[in-house]
């Protein structure tokens, strides 16, 4: 940062300008330092440790193995099963959330009555701790405590003994908890669609569906892409719901959970960190695809003009 500071910027800078730069950098320092401290060094450390065979319970057996841990992870069926589970959760969650979120945003945008009620209602799940949402849905479907089976006449169907049934409940909890965020982002996008465009289309005889497809959605593309990017990355990192509901049983591990399990439960620091680094790389890849491929306009997200 300081090297940038001393770089000459065309012509002379006034004393006032120099003081302003110094103050600007000074004010930003604490936040940048904390963010770097918790991410840069540990990430470097994770990379380093992933090159060793190292179990916390047997520190003397620690030895350098190069990329062996990555090879182990990438050739293991469990890893790819985990990737598949994470992918299914992400695609289904984000897809459903976009549809419901858009509907909710439309209601908030168009509602003449009850706008406040809807907005407050929508914020409730946002405020609830994810772990509590996970417990609520788990207990609702649970054979012992739940009401779902008796309401729908399912007898003693064990939701959490089947991979896809368990994933269904996990996805349900995730959707309930995070759709509000999506709908608020989309609502802000709807507010940016020029009203007269829709009216002009109506005059020209466009149906509601045509207006939605040709006018509304193209004009709020930026908001949709931002919501899509944030939720995709969020869903890809899903952890809390899986931990509480199944603890990875019945083939419901996700990438975050696998990393946690290897490092904390099994104290396999080498292999666990390798999985953690792979998770990090996959997040970078997803972000890059969105930003380069779909040209998500992040200048709005970053807040620069």
Within 66-125, which residues bind other proteins (CB under 8 A)?
104, 107, 111-114, 116-125
- Contact between 190 and 106 under an 8 Å Cβ cutoff? The reply is yes
- Contact between 263 and 273 under an 8 Å Cβ cutoff? The reply is yes
Contact pick of 58, 128, 285, 289 for other proteins (by CB under 8 A): 128
Contact pick of 11, 59, 77, 127 for other proteins (by CB under 8 A): 127
Q: How far is the CB of 180 from other proteins (least distance, A)?
A: 8
- DSSP secondary structure letters along 150-208: HHTT-TT--GGGSHHHHHHHHHHHHHHHHHHHHHHHHHHHHTTS-HHHHHHHHHTT--H
Task: Report which DSSP code applies to 19.
Answer: H
Q: Which residues ranging from 210 to 249 are in contact with other proteins (CB under 8 A)?
A: 222-223, 226, 230, 233, 236-237, 239-240, 243-244
The structure tokens 């049934």 sit at 165
Rg of the chain, C-alpha, whole Å: 24
Measured from the CB atom, is 57 or 144 closer to other proteins? 144
3-state secondary structure of 54: strand
For position 301 contacting other proteins by CB under 8 A, the verdict is yes
**Binding pattern for the stretch 165-204 against other proteins, x by CB under 8 A and - elsewhere:** -----------x---xx--xx-xxx-xx------------
Measured from the CB atom, is 201 or 259 closer to other proteins? 259
- Contact between 108 and 119 under an 8 Å Cβ cutoff? The reply is yes
Tell me the window of 63-71, 76-84, 199-207, 277-285 that interacts with other proteins (CB under 8 A): 277-285
Tell me the window of 2-10, 91-99, 195-203, 207-215 that interacts with other proteins (CB under 8 A): 2-10
């Amino acid at each position: 940062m300081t090297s940038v500071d001393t770089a000459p910027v065309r012509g002379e800078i006034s004393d006032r300008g120099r003081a302003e730069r110094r103050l600007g950098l000074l004010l930003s320092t604490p936040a940048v330092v904390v963010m770097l401290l918790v991410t840069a060094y540990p990430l470097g450390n994770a990379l380093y440790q992933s090159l060793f065979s190292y179990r916390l319970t047997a520190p003397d057996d620690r030895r350098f193995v190069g990329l062996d841990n990555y090879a182990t992870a990438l050739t293991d069926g469990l890893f790819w099963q985990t990737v598949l589970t994470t992918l299914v959760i992400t695609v289904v969650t984000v897809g459903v959330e976009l549809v419901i979120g858009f509907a909710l945003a439309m209601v908030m945008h168009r509602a003449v009555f009850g706008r406040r009620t809807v907005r407050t209602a929508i914020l409730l799940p946002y405020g609830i701790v994810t772990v509590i949402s996970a417990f609520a849905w788990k207990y609702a479907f649970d054979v012992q405590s739940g009401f779902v089976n008796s309401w729908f006449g399912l007898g003693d169907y064990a939701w959490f003994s089947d991979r896809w049934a368990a994933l269904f409940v996990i996805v349900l909890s995730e959707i309930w908890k995070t759709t509000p965020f999506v709908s608020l982002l989309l609502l802000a996008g709807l507010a940016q669609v020029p009203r007269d465009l829709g009216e002009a289309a109506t005059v020209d005889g466009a149906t509601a569906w045509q207006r939605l497809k040709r006018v509304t959605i193209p004009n709020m593309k930026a908001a949709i892409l931002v919501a899509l990017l944030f939720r995709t990355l969020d869903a890809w990192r899903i952890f809390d719901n899986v931990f509480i509901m199944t603890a990875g049983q019945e083939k419901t591990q996700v990438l975050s959970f696998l990393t946690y399990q290897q490092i904390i439960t099994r104290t396999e620091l080498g292999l666990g960190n390798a999985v953690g680094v792979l998770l990090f790389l996959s997040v970078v890849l997803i972000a890059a695809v969105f930003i380069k491929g779909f040209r998500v306009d992040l200048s709005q997200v970053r807040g620069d003009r």
